[in-house]
Structure 1
Amino acid sequence: MFKIILTGLSIIVLVATVFIVIYILYNLFSEDREKGKELKTKEQRTKELERLKEKLPPYEFESTQKNAVNKRFSFMGYLHAGDYVQVVKTFKDYYGFTHQTGEKFYFACAYFLPYEDGYTLFASKDKINIFSIFLQNRPETQGNICRNLKDYFEIIEQKKFKRE
């Protein structure tokens, strides 16, 4: 009787082990398939972005396509992609480029560089070509501009995004 119980338990343990091994193998292969799909999706997205970059004018591409994780279509909740903006107070950006009172442009996007507290604002005067405004959000550089955008920029015309 004891042998029958041991034999029965051995069979149950063996069957359970086989099912566990099959389950583990199945999960390994299905994860590989998911990674393959994800990779294919990334490759497709990259190709699509390259196609759009060639097809669209630089301003339109930058103001509509999320092609980088550090890219935002708004800046400090004030400027939004498509806004027509006027500089109302002259300032120098991080690299010393002067932006004069009265300068007008269309805001496209902002890239954030966390290791420098830096922002690169992409803008356009003609909705075709892009130029950059470089700001560093530190008190000793352009922190005052970043914290007080309304003192430096006036939105002449709002586009695309609803404001709260």
Structure 2
Amino acid sequence: MIVQRFFAPVVLPADPDCSVLRDAVVDVGPDGRITYCGAVSATPSITENVACSVLPGILTPGLVNTHAHSPMTLLRGIGGDLPSMARLQNVIWLAEARMRARDARAGMLLGCIEMLRYGVTTSAEMHAHAEELVEAALQAGSRVLVVPAYIHRQGTDWYREIKAIGKWIDADGL
């Protein structure tokens, strides 16, 4: 069963051959998985009501931000006039240590929305408040890999963060 069909002038399927498909179709099933990717001429017929989208550009797999601190979007611009280490030590880390779980969630949601606008569907995050980060990513429709913050500084307990993530993984069976 197909629930969404995308037509695009160019599709990059990210296959081992690094194919470039012209005038192609990508079908997506109800579970969100791709059921067909190929030329329009070989497209399976549609027997049910399917949403179709004609895209104007290149259709590619989602991009991955492999090193993100998305909750810090809330700190954007503060201390920007300082040298890098002075900014981190005297402004960012102090502000970050005061962030509550709801602050991290709001910053993560904003970061996910900004990334999704530009095709970034997955991010690897290092920040406290792991559960809130995941909740925000799920709300945005994004994917996330959470790594505990490992810098031990005032206001943070990274040992507790690691234990919490370990219990969470065990509970969810991931």
> Is TM more than 0.5 here?
no
* TM bucket, shorter chain: under 0.3
What TM-score results when the alignment is normalised by the length of structure 1?
A: 0.23
Larger Rg: 1
Q: Which has the higher helix share?
A: 1
| Higher relative contact order (CA closer than 8 Å, sequence separation 6+) | 1
What TM-score results when the alignment is normalised by the length of structure 2?
A: 0.23
